[in-house]
Amino acid sequence: MNHALLFSVFIIASCGLAYELIAGALASYLLGDSVTQFSTVIGSYLFAMGIGSWLSRYVEEHLVARFIQVELLVGVLGGFSAAALFFIFAWSAAPFKLALYLAVFGVGVLVGLEIPLVMRILKRDLVFKDVVSQVLTFDYLGALAVSILFPVLLVPHLGLIRSGLLFGLLNVAVALWAWWLFRAQLHNAGWLRVQGRLSMLALLAAFAAAGELTSLAETQLYADDIVHAESTPYQRIVVTRWKDDLRLHLNNNLQFSSRDEYRYHEALVHPGLSTLPAARRVLVLGGGDGLAVREILKYPQIESVTLVDLDPAMTRLFASAPPLRKLNHDALHSAKVTVVNADALQWLEENDDLFDFIVVDFPDPSNFSIGKLYSAAFYRLLEKHLAGDALAVIQSTSPLYARQSFWCIVTTIESVGLVTTPYHALVPSFGEWGFVLAGRRAYRPPPSYAVETRFLTPGTTPGLFVFPGDMARVEAEVNRLNNQVLVRYFEQEWRQVIR
In terms of domains, do 177 and 292 share one?
Answer: no
Structural domain contains residue 290 = yes
Q: How many Å apart are CA 358 and CA 314, to the nearest integer?
A: 20
Extract long-range pairs of 340-343: CB within 8 Å, 24+ residues apart.
340/306, 340/307, 340/308, 340/309, 341/308, 341/309, 341/310, 341/311, 341/312, 341/315, 342/308, 342/310, 343/310
pLDDT digits (tens, 9 = 90+) for 94-148: 788 899 999 999 999 998 888 888 777 766 655 555 555 666 777 778 778 888 8
Tell me how far CA of residue 171 lies from CA of 168, 198, 250, in angstroms.
5, 13, 32
100-109, 140-149, 173-182, 282-291: range with lowest mean pLDDT: 140-149
For residue 203, which of 229, 181, 173, 179 has the smallest C-alpha distance? Answer: 173
In terms of domains, do 450 and 343 share one?
Answer: yes
For residue 253, which of 35, 7, 113, 429 has the smallest C-alpha distance? Answer: 429
pLDDT digits (tens, 9 = 90+) for 197-231: 999 999 999 998 887 777 776 666 777 888 998 88
Tell me how far CA of residue 498 lies from CA of 99, 434, 486, 493, 494, in angstroms.
20, 19, 18, 9, 6
Q: Could you list the residue range(s) of the whole structural domain that residue 190 is in?
A: 2-210
| DSSP letters spanning 393-440 | EEE---TTTSHHHHHHHHHHHHTTT-EEEEEEEEETTTEEEEEEEEES
Rounded to 10 degrees, the C-alpha dihedral 467/473/474/479 comes to 120
Is the pLDDT confidence value at 499 over 70? Answer: no
Respond yes or no: is residue 130 known to be catalytic. no
In terms of domains, do 269 and 245 share one?
Answer: no
In terms of domains, do 97 and 244 share one?
Answer: no
Q: At what angle do helices 2-31 and 128-149 cross, to 10 degrees?
A: 40
* Residue-level pLDDT at 130: 58
List, in sequence order, the alpha helices (H) in 232-321.
261-273, 291-296, 312-320
pLDDT digits (tens, 9 = 90+) for 228-258: 988 888 888 999 999 889 999 988 888 999 9
In terms of domains, do 407 and 296 share one?
Answer: yes
Count structural domains, the chain.
3
For residue 457, which of 467, 473, 446 has the smallest C-alpha distance? Answer: 446
Average pLDDT value for the chain: 88
Structural domain contains residue 39 = yes
First to last CA, the chain: 57
Q: Which of 33, 289, 309, 361 is catalytic?
A: 361
In terms of domains, do 271 and 204 share one?
Answer: no
For residues 371-385, give the mean pLDDT.
Answer: 95
* Residue-level pLDDT at 476: 95
For residue 151, which of 22, 254, 55, 46 has the smallest C-alpha distance? Answer: 22
In terms of domains, do 311 and 405 share one?
Answer: yes
Structural domain contains residue 171 = yes
In terms of domains, do 349 and 399 share one?
Answer: yes
Q: How many Å apart are CA 439 and CA 388, to the nearest integer?
A: 9
